[in-house]
Structure 1
Protein backbone atom coordinates (compact mmCIF):
# COMPACT_ATOMS: atom_id res chain seq x y z
CA UNK A 1 0.00 0.00 0.00
CA UNK A 2 2.87 2.35 0.80
CA UNK A 3 4.27 1.87 -2.71
CA UNK A 4 1.02 2.92 -4.39
CA UNK A 5 0.63 6.21 -2.48
CA UNK A 6 3.56 7.94 -4.31
CA UNK A 7 2.05 6.91 -7.66
CA UNK A 8 -1.35 8.28 -6.68
CA UNK A 9 0.22 11.55 -5.53
CA UNK A 10 2.18 11.80 -8.78
CA UNK A 11 -1.00 11.21 -10.80
CA UNK A 12 -2.87 13.81 -8.74
CA UNK A 13 -0.13 16.44 -9.20
CA UNK A 14 0.20 15.73 -12.93
CA UNK A 15 -3.48 16.55 -13.46
CA UNK A 16 -2.82 20.12 -12.28
CA UNK A 17 0.52 20.63 -14.00
CA UNK A 18 -0.58 19.48 -17.45
CA UNK A 19 -3.61 21.42 -18.55
CA UNK A 20 -5.10 23.19 -21.51
CA UNK A 21 -3.84 26.54 -22.67
CA UNK A 22 -5.40 29.42 -24.54
CA UNK A 23 -3.09 29.24 -27.57
CA UNK A 24 -5.24 28.03 -30.43
CA UNK A 25 -3.68 27.34 -33.81
CA UNK A 26 -6.85 28.44 -35.58
CA UNK A 27 -7.34 32.20 -35.78
CA UNK A 28 -10.77 33.63 -36.50
CA UNK A 29 -10.88 36.26 -39.24
CA UNK A 30 -14.05 38.31 -39.46
CA UNK A 31 -14.42 38.87 -43.21
CA UNK A 32 -17.85 40.49 -43.19
CA UNK A 33 -17.06 43.42 -40.90
CA UNK A 34 -14.96 46.16 -42.44
CA UNK A 35 -14.43 49.87 -42.28
CA UNK A 36 -15.78 51.96 -45.12
CA UNK A 37 -16.19 55.52 -46.37
CA UNK A 38 -19.19 57.33 -47.81
CA UNK A 39 -18.79 60.73 -49.51
CA UNK A 40 -21.68 63.14 -49.85
CA UNK A 41 -21.85 66.57 -51.49
CA UNK A 42 -24.99 68.46 -50.61
CA UNK A 43 -26.59 71.73 -49.64
CA UNK A 44 -27.79 72.08 -46.07
CA UNK A 45 -31.57 72.24 -45.68
CA UNK A 46 -33.27 74.46 -43.14
CA UNK A 47 -35.68 73.01 -40.58
CA UNK A 48 -37.87 75.91 -39.43
CA UNK A 49 -39.44 73.96 -36.54
CA UNK A 50 -36.05 73.27 -34.95
CA UNK A 51 -34.26 76.34 -36.36
CA UNK A 52 -31.36 74.24 -37.63
CA UNK A 53 -29.60 73.51 -40.91
CA UNK A 54 -29.05 69.82 -41.61
CA UNK A 55 -28.00 67.11 -44.07
CA UNK A 56 -29.25 63.52 -43.67
CA UNK A 57 -27.56 60.44 -45.10
CA UNK A 58 -28.84 56.87 -44.81
CA UNK A 59 -26.29 54.29 -43.67
CA UNK A 60 -26.27 50.72 -42.39
CA UNK A 61 -24.16 49.77 -39.41
CA UNK A 62 -24.19 47.66 -36.26
CA UNK A 63 -25.30 49.26 -32.96
CA UNK A 64 -21.81 49.05 -31.51
CA UNK A 65 -20.05 50.60 -34.53
CA UNK A 66 -18.82 54.18 -34.70
CA UNK A 67 -19.17 56.91 -37.33
CA UNK A 68 -16.59 59.64 -37.90
CA UNK A 69 -17.41 62.65 -40.08
CA UNK A 70 -14.95 64.87 -41.94
CA UNK A 71 -15.61 68.04 -43.96
CA UNK A 72 -13.65 68.91 -47.09
CA UNK A 73 -11.88 72.10 -46.08
CA UNK A 74 -9.68 72.53 -49.12
CA UNK A 75 -8.70 70.69 -52.26
CA UNK A 76 -5.39 71.20 -54.00
CA UNK A 77 -2.89 69.44 -56.24
CA UNK A 78 -1.26 68.12 -53.06
CA UNK A 79 -4.52 66.39 -52.09
CA UNK A 80 -7.70 67.13 -50.22
CA UNK A 81 -7.66 68.59 -46.71
CA UNK A 82 -10.29 67.00 -44.44
CA UNK A 83 -11.21 68.36 -41.02
CA UNK A 84 -13.03 66.30 -38.43
CA UNK A 85 -16.34 67.54 -37.12
CA UNK A 86 -17.57 68.67 -34.65
CA UNK A 87 -15.82 71.83 -35.72
CA UNK A 88 -16.21 75.54 -35.02
CA UNK A 89 -15.22 78.15 -37.61
CA UNK A 90 -14.48 81.64 -36.30
CA UNK A 91 -15.22 84.78 -38.31
CA UNK A 92 -14.80 88.49 -37.76
CA UNK A 93 -17.12 90.25 -35.35
CA UNK A 94 -17.16 87.29 -32.96
CA UNK A 95 -19.29 85.19 -35.31
CA UNK A 96 -19.03 81.41 -34.99
CA UNK A 97 -20.29 78.66 -37.30
CA UNK A 98 -20.53 75.16 -35.83
CA UNK A 99 -20.64 71.85 -37.68
CA UNK A 100 -21.78 68.87 -35.64
CA UNK A 101 -23.30 65.44 -36.29
CA UNK A 102 -25.18 62.58 -34.73
CA UNK A 103 -25.72 59.05 -35.96
CA UNK A 104 -27.81 55.93 -35.50
CA UNK A 105 -27.63 52.51 -37.13
CA UNK A 106 -29.63 53.88 -40.04
CA UNK A 107 -28.52 57.45 -40.66
CA UNK A 108 -26.03 60.22 -40.07
CA UNK A 109 -27.30 63.77 -39.58
CA UNK A 110 -24.85 66.62 -40.11
CA UNK A 111 -25.88 69.89 -38.48
CA UNK A 112 -24.81 73.51 -38.98
CA UNK A 113 -25.55 76.34 -36.58
CA UNK A 114 -24.05 79.51 -35.26
CA UNK A 115 -24.36 82.57 -33.10
CA UNK A 116 -25.51 84.65 -36.11
CA UNK A 117 -27.79 84.17 -39.12
CA UNK A 118 -25.67 81.58 -40.94
CA UNK A 119 -27.74 81.95 -44.11
CA UNK A 120 -25.64 85.11 -44.69
CA UNK A 121 -22.61 82.84 -45.32
CA UNK A 122 -23.96 80.42 -47.97
CA UNK A 123 -20.43 79.34 -48.90
CA UNK A 124 -20.46 77.20 -45.76
CA UNK A 125 -23.95 75.78 -46.37
CA UNK A 126 -24.05 75.04 -50.10
CA UNK A 127 -22.17 72.38 -52.05
CA UNK A 128 -20.47 71.01 -48.92
CA UNK A 129 -18.57 67.72 -49.16
CA UNK A 130 -18.34 65.35 -46.21
CA UNK A 131 -16.83 61.91 -45.74
CA UNK A 132 -18.41 59.52 -43.27
CA UNK A 133 -16.04 56.81 -42.04
CA UNK A 134 -17.77 53.77 -40.55
CA UNK A 135 -15.58 51.98 -38.00
CA UNK A 136 -16.74 48.49 -36.92
CA UNK A 137 -16.73 47.75 -33.20
CA UNK A 138 -14.20 44.96 -33.70
CA UNK A 139 -11.58 47.62 -34.42
CA UNK A 140 -12.37 49.67 -31.34
CA UNK A 141 -10.19 49.22 -28.29
CA UNK A 142 -12.60 49.94 -25.46
CA UNK A 143 -11.27 51.71 -22.41
CA UNK A 144 -7.86 52.36 -23.89
CA UNK A 145 -6.17 55.09 -25.85
CA UNK A 146 -7.45 55.12 -29.45
CA UNK A 147 -5.14 53.26 -31.83
CA UNK A 148 -5.09 56.20 -34.25
CA UNK A 149 -5.58 59.98 -34.16
CA UNK A 150 -9.23 60.22 -35.26
CA UNK A 151 -8.84 63.92 -36.08
CA UNK A 152 -6.44 62.99 -38.92
CA UNK A 153 -8.49 61.63 -41.82
CA UNK A 154 -5.45 60.24 -43.66
CA UNK A 155 -4.20 58.42 -40.55
CA UNK A 156 -7.65 56.86 -40.06
CA UNK A 157 -7.81 55.70 -43.70
CA UNK A 158 -4.34 54.20 -43.46
CA UNK A 159 -4.93 52.51 -40.09
CA UNK A 160 -8.17 50.82 -41.19
CA UNK A 161 -6.80 49.88 -44.66
CA UNK A 162 -9.50 51.80 -46.51
CA UNK A 163 -8.96 52.26 -50.24
CA UNK A 164 -9.45 56.02 -50.54
CA UNK A 165 -9.82 55.79 -54.33
CA UNK A 166 -12.94 53.61 -54.05
CA UNK A 167 -15.11 55.82 -51.85
CA UNK A 168 -18.88 55.38 -52.26
CA UNK A 169 -20.24 58.75 -53.41
CA UNK A 170 -23.79 60.02 -53.03
Structure 2
Protein backbone atom coordinates (compact mmCIF):
# COMPACT_ATOMS: atom_id res chain seq x y z
CA UNK A 1 0.00 0.00 0.00
CA UNK A 2 2.88 2.33 0.88
CA UNK A 3 4.48 1.66 -2.50
CA UNK A 4 1.23 2.51 -4.34
CA UNK A 5 0.85 5.78 -2.41
CA UNK A 6 4.51 6.64 -3.04
CA UNK A 7 4.13 5.93 -6.76
CA UNK A 8 0.92 8.03 -6.95
CA UNK A 9 2.64 10.91 -5.14
CA UNK A 10 5.66 10.68 -7.48
CA UNK A 11 3.38 10.55 -10.52
CA UNK A 12 1.45 13.64 -9.25
CA UNK A 13 4.71 15.58 -8.76
CA UNK A 14 5.96 14.65 -12.24
CA UNK A 15 2.59 15.52 -13.81
CA UNK A 16 2.34 18.94 -12.16
CA UNK A 17 5.96 19.89 -12.82
CA UNK A 18 5.64 19.44 -16.57
CA UNK A 19 5.34 22.57 -18.65
CA UNK A 20 4.66 22.93 -22.29
CA UNK A 21 4.83 25.56 -24.98
CA UNK A 22 2.68 28.54 -23.86
CA UNK A 23 1.43 29.00 -27.40
CA UNK A 24 1.42 32.10 -29.55
CA UNK A 25 0.39 35.40 -27.96
CA UNK A 26 -3.09 36.72 -28.71
CA UNK A 27 -3.74 39.55 -31.13
CA UNK A 28 -3.53 43.10 -29.86
CA UNK A 29 -6.69 45.17 -29.87
CA UNK A 30 -7.12 48.15 -32.15
CA UNK A 31 -5.68 51.21 -30.43
CA UNK A 32 -7.79 54.29 -29.89
CA UNK A 33 -11.29 52.97 -30.44
CA UNK A 34 -12.17 52.88 -26.76
CA UNK A 35 -11.18 56.49 -26.17
CA UNK A 36 -8.78 57.99 -23.71
CA UNK A 37 -9.00 56.65 -20.20
CA UNK A 38 -9.98 59.33 -17.73
CA UNK A 39 -10.71 59.52 -14.05
CA UNK A 40 -13.67 57.61 -12.77
CA UNK A 41 -16.46 59.96 -11.94
CA UNK A 42 -19.03 59.84 -9.20
CA UNK A 43 -22.26 58.01 -9.91
CA UNK A 44 -24.76 60.28 -11.63
CA UNK A 45 -27.08 62.48 -9.66
CA UNK A 46 -30.72 61.84 -10.43
CA UNK A 47 -33.69 64.18 -10.15
CA UNK A 48 -37.39 63.31 -10.17
CA UNK A 49 -40.56 65.39 -9.96
CA UNK A 50 -43.45 63.56 -8.34
CA UNK A 51 -47.04 64.60 -7.69
CA UNK A 52 -48.23 63.48 -4.27
CA UNK A 53 -51.69 63.51 -2.69
CA UNK A 54 -51.74 62.96 1.07
CA UNK A 55 -54.14 60.81 3.09
CA UNK A 56 -55.14 61.63 6.65
CA UNK A 57 -54.04 59.06 9.24
CA UNK A 58 -56.59 59.09 12.08
CA UNK A 59 -54.30 57.12 14.38
CA UNK A 60 -51.52 59.70 14.53
CA UNK A 61 -53.36 62.79 13.27
CA UNK A 62 -50.95 63.36 10.38
CA UNK A 63 -51.32 63.65 6.63
CA UNK A 64 -49.09 61.05 4.97
CA UNK A 65 -48.17 59.97 1.48
CA UNK A 66 -47.81 56.33 0.63
CA UNK A 67 -44.29 54.97 0.98
CA UNK A 68 -42.61 55.36 -2.41
CA UNK A 69 -40.11 52.60 -3.21
CA UNK A 70 -37.07 54.15 -4.92
CA UNK A 71 -36.42 51.18 -7.17
CA UNK A 72 -40.05 50.44 -8.07
CA UNK A 73 -41.03 54.02 -8.91
CA UNK A 74 -37.78 55.76 -9.87
CA UNK A 75 -35.58 52.83 -10.88
CA UNK A 76 -32.95 53.96 -8.38
CA UNK A 77 -31.11 52.02 -5.71
CA UNK A 78 -29.22 54.67 -3.74
CA UNK A 79 -26.15 53.71 -1.75
CA UNK A 80 -26.54 54.01 2.04
CA UNK A 81 -24.12 56.96 2.14
CA UNK A 82 -25.86 58.92 -0.66
CA UNK A 83 -27.89 62.00 0.21
CA UNK A 84 -31.59 62.34 -0.60
CA UNK A 85 -32.93 65.89 -0.85
CA UNK A 86 -36.58 66.84 -1.18
CA UNK A 87 -38.17 70.10 -2.28
CA UNK A 88 -41.82 71.19 -2.51
CA UNK A 89 -43.11 73.42 -5.29
CA UNK A 90 -44.81 76.43 -3.71
CA UNK A 91 -46.02 77.89 -6.96
CA UNK A 92 -44.48 79.53 -9.98
CA UNK A 93 -43.63 82.95 -11.34
CA UNK A 94 -43.94 83.44 -15.09
CA UNK A 95 -43.87 79.67 -15.59
CA UNK A 96 -40.77 79.19 -13.42
CA UNK A 97 -41.39 76.93 -10.41
CA UNK A 98 -40.59 78.11 -6.90
CA UNK A 99 -39.02 75.31 -4.84
CA UNK A 100 -38.52 75.15 -1.06
CA UNK A 101 -36.41 72.52 0.64
CA UNK A 102 -38.10 70.27 3.18
CA UNK A 103 -38.79 70.64 6.01
CA UNK A 104 -41.03 73.59 5.18
CA UNK A 105 -43.28 75.45 7.65
CA UNK A 106 -46.54 77.31 7.14
CA UNK A 107 -48.01 79.56 9.81
CA UNK A 108 -51.80 79.46 9.61
CA UNK A 109 -54.52 81.01 11.77
CA UNK A 110 -55.07 77.63 13.47
CA UNK A 111 -51.36 76.99 14.10
CA UNK A 112 -48.31 75.73 12.26
CA UNK A 113 -47.98 72.93 9.73
CA UNK A 114 -44.76 71.44 8.49
CA UNK A 115 -44.00 69.39 5.39
CA UNK A 116 -41.48 66.68 6.24
CA UNK A 117 -40.03 63.65 4.58
CA UNK A 118 -38.56 60.46 5.92
CA UNK A 119 -36.49 58.04 3.92
CA UNK A 120 -34.53 54.83 4.17
CA UNK A 121 -32.19 53.18 1.70
CA UNK A 122 -35.22 51.87 -0.18
CA UNK A 123 -38.10 54.34 0.15
CA UNK A 124 -39.37 57.82 0.93
CA UNK A 125 -42.53 59.13 2.58
CA UNK A 126 -43.87 62.69 2.75
CA UNK A 127 -45.70 63.89 5.88
CA UNK A 128 -47.64 66.97 6.96
CA UNK A 129 -47.35 67.53 10.72
CA UNK A 130 -48.86 70.32 12.76
CA UNK A 131 -49.65 71.64 16.21
CA UNK A 132 -53.45 71.59 15.81
CA UNK A 133 -56.14 69.20 14.56
CA UNK A 134 -55.12 68.60 10.95
CA UNK A 135 -58.19 66.56 9.96
CA UNK A 136 -59.79 69.58 8.24
CA UNK A 137 -56.65 70.93 6.60
CA UNK A 138 -57.40 72.67 3.31
CA UNK A 139 -56.88 70.47 0.24
CA UNK A 140 -54.59 73.17 -1.15
CA UNK A 141 -52.01 71.73 1.25
CA UNK A 142 -52.82 68.03 0.81
CA UNK A 143 -53.80 67.32 -2.80
CA UNK A 144 -51.63 67.32 -5.93
CA UNK A 145 -48.47 68.59 -4.28
CA UNK A 146 -45.38 68.62 -6.49
CA UNK A 147 -42.16 67.40 -4.94
CA UNK A 148 -38.69 67.22 -6.41
CA UNK A 149 -36.45 64.42 -5.15
CA UNK A 150 -32.71 64.73 -5.76
CA UNK A 151 -30.36 61.79 -5.25
CA UNK A 152 -26.89 63.20 -4.55
CA UNK A 153 -23.86 60.87 -4.68
CA UNK A 154 -21.98 60.77 -1.38
CA UNK A 155 -18.71 61.87 -3.04
CA UNK A 156 -20.36 65.06 -4.27
CA UNK A 157 -22.22 65.77 -1.01
CA UNK A 158 -19.01 65.52 1.03
CA UNK A 159 -17.27 68.16 -1.10
CA UNK A 160 -20.21 70.49 -1.82
CA UNK A 161 -19.63 73.94 -0.34
CA UNK A 162 -22.92 75.43 -1.50
CA UNK A 163 -26.36 75.72 0.03
CA UNK A 164 -28.47 72.56 -0.27
CA UNK A 165 -31.61 74.65 0.26
CA UNK A 166 -30.97 76.39 -3.07
CA UNK A 167 -32.21 73.85 -5.63
CA UNK A 168 -30.88 75.89 -8.54
CA UNK A 169 -27.36 75.94 -7.04
CA UNK A 170 -27.50 72.20 -6.30
CA UNK A 171 -28.62 71.36 -9.84
CA UNK A 172 -25.98 73.64 -11.34
CA UNK A 173 -23.22 72.09 -9.22
CA UNK A 174 -24.41 68.62 -10.30
CA UNK A 175 -24.42 69.75 -13.96
CA UNK A 176 -28.14 69.02 -14.21
CA UNK A 177 -30.60 70.95 -16.33
CA UNK A 178 -34.39 71.05 -16.14
CA UNK A 179 -34.42 68.71 -19.12
CA UNK A 180 -32.66 66.11 -16.91
CA UNK A 181 -35.56 66.06 -14.45
CA UNK A 182 -37.65 62.92 -14.84
CA UNK A 183 -41.39 63.52 -14.50
CA UNK A 184 -43.21 60.78 -12.60
CA UNK A 185 -46.90 59.98 -12.88
How would you bin the TM-score normalised by the shorter chain? 0.7 to 0.9
Map residues 1-170 of structure 1 onto 2, 5 A cutoff.
28-30=39-41, 33-55=43-65, 56-59=67-70, 60-77=77-94, 79-93=96-110, 95-118=111-134, 119-141=136-158, 146-170=160-184
Q: Unmatched 5+ residue regions in structure 1?
A: 1-25
1 or 2, which has the higher strand percentage? Answer: 1
TM-score calculated relative to the size of structure 2: 0.69
| 2:61–2:133 contact (8 Å) kept in structure 1 | no
**Residues 1:92 and 1:50: Cα distance change in structure 2 (over 3 Å):** closer
SS at match of 2:179: helix
Greater alpha carbon shift after TM alignment, 39-48 vs 152-161? 39-48
69-78 vs 131-140, greater mean Cα deviation: 69-78
Larger Rg: 2
TM-score, structure 1 length as denominator? 0.75
Q: Which aligned runs of 4 or more in structure 1 are off by greater than 6 angstroms?
A: none
Shift of 1:164: 1.6
C-alpha separation in 1, matches of 2:56 and 2:171:
32
Number of aligned residue pairs: give it: 140
